[in-house]
C-alpha cells in the first residue's frame, strides 16, 4: 500500500482558520492606522492653507486674504495673479474637484471685518467625509494656529467665531 502525498481536508481547514484569525486581528488595526494617516494629512493640509493665505495677503495687500480657497491654487502651468495665487496644489485648492483629499473636505474663506476695505481675516476648515476617514475636524484663522474639535466630532467647524473658540492642537 502506497501513502498518498498532499494535505488532508482537516489540515487545509486549520490553515484557513488561522489565516482568518490573523486577518480579524490585523484589519481593524489597519483601518485605525489609515484614519490616523488621514487625520495627519488633513492637519498638514490646513497648515498648508494657512501658510498660503498669509503669503497671498503679503503678495496682494490691497485685496487681503482671498475670498475662496480656489484662488490659492491654479491650473498647471500656473501663472501667479490675483485670481490664481499658485501657492498650493490645485487638487487641494479645488478640494479634489469636490471629492475631497485624503477623505477630508477643505474650505477657506476670507472676509473683511471692523470696517476694513480689505479681507483682513480668514478661516479654513478640514472635516472628514465620514467616520470611515477621520476622527476629528480641524480649523484655523489668520493667527495660523491649528485648532481641533474634540475627537469624535466630525462636523465642519461652522464659523470664524466657532473656530476661534476651539483649543489649539497639541
Residue 113: phi, psi to the nearest 5? -140, 160
Domain boundaries, the chain: 11-164
Residue 21 CB-density burial (10 A; 0-12 exposed, 13-18 middle, 19+ buried):
exposed
Instruction: Choose among 169, 165, 154, 161: nearest CA to 47.
Output: 169
pLDDT digits (tens, 9 = 90+) for 20-69: 999 898 888 888 899 999 999 999 999 999 999 999 999 999 999 999 99
Confidence class for position 1, pLDDT limits 50, 70, 90: low
Q: Which residues pair with 105 in a beta bridge?
A: 127
Element (H, E) at 91: helix 90-93
Q: In angstroms, rounded to a whole number, what is the distance separating the alpha carbons of residues 65 and 122?
A: 6
In the chain, what percentage of residues exceed pLDDT 70? 99
Contact predicate 126/105, CB 8 Å = yes
Amino acid at each position: 500500500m502506497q501513502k498518498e502525498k498532499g494535505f488532508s481536508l482537516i489540515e487545509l481547514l486549520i490553515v484557513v482558520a488561522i489565516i482568518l484569525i490573523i486577518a480579524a486581528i490585523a484589519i481593524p488595526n489597519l483601518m485605525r492606522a489609515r484614519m490616523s494617516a488621514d487625520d495627519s494629512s488633513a492637519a498638514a493640509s490646513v497648515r498648508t492653507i494657512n501658510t498660503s493665505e498669509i503669503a497671498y495677503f503679503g503678495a496682494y495687500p490691497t485685496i487681503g486674504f482671498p475670498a475662496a480657497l480656489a484662488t490659492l491654487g491654479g491650473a498647471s502651468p500656473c501663472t501667479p495673479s490675483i485670481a490664481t495665487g499658485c501657492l498650493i496644489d490645485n487638487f487641494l485648492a479645488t478640494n479634489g474637484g469636490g471629492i475631497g483629499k485624503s477623505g477630508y473636505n477643505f474650505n477657506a474663506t476670507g472676509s473683511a471685518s471692523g470696517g476694513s476695505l480689505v479681507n483682513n481675516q480668514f478661516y479654513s476648515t478640514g472635516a472628514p467625509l465620514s467616520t470611515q476617514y477621520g476622527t476629528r475636524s480641524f480649523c484655523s484663522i489668520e493667527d495660523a494656529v491649528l485648532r481641533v474639535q474634540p475627537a469624535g466630532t466630525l462636523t465642519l467647524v461652522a464659523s470664524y467665531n466657532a473656530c476661534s473658540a476651539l483649543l489649539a492642537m497639541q
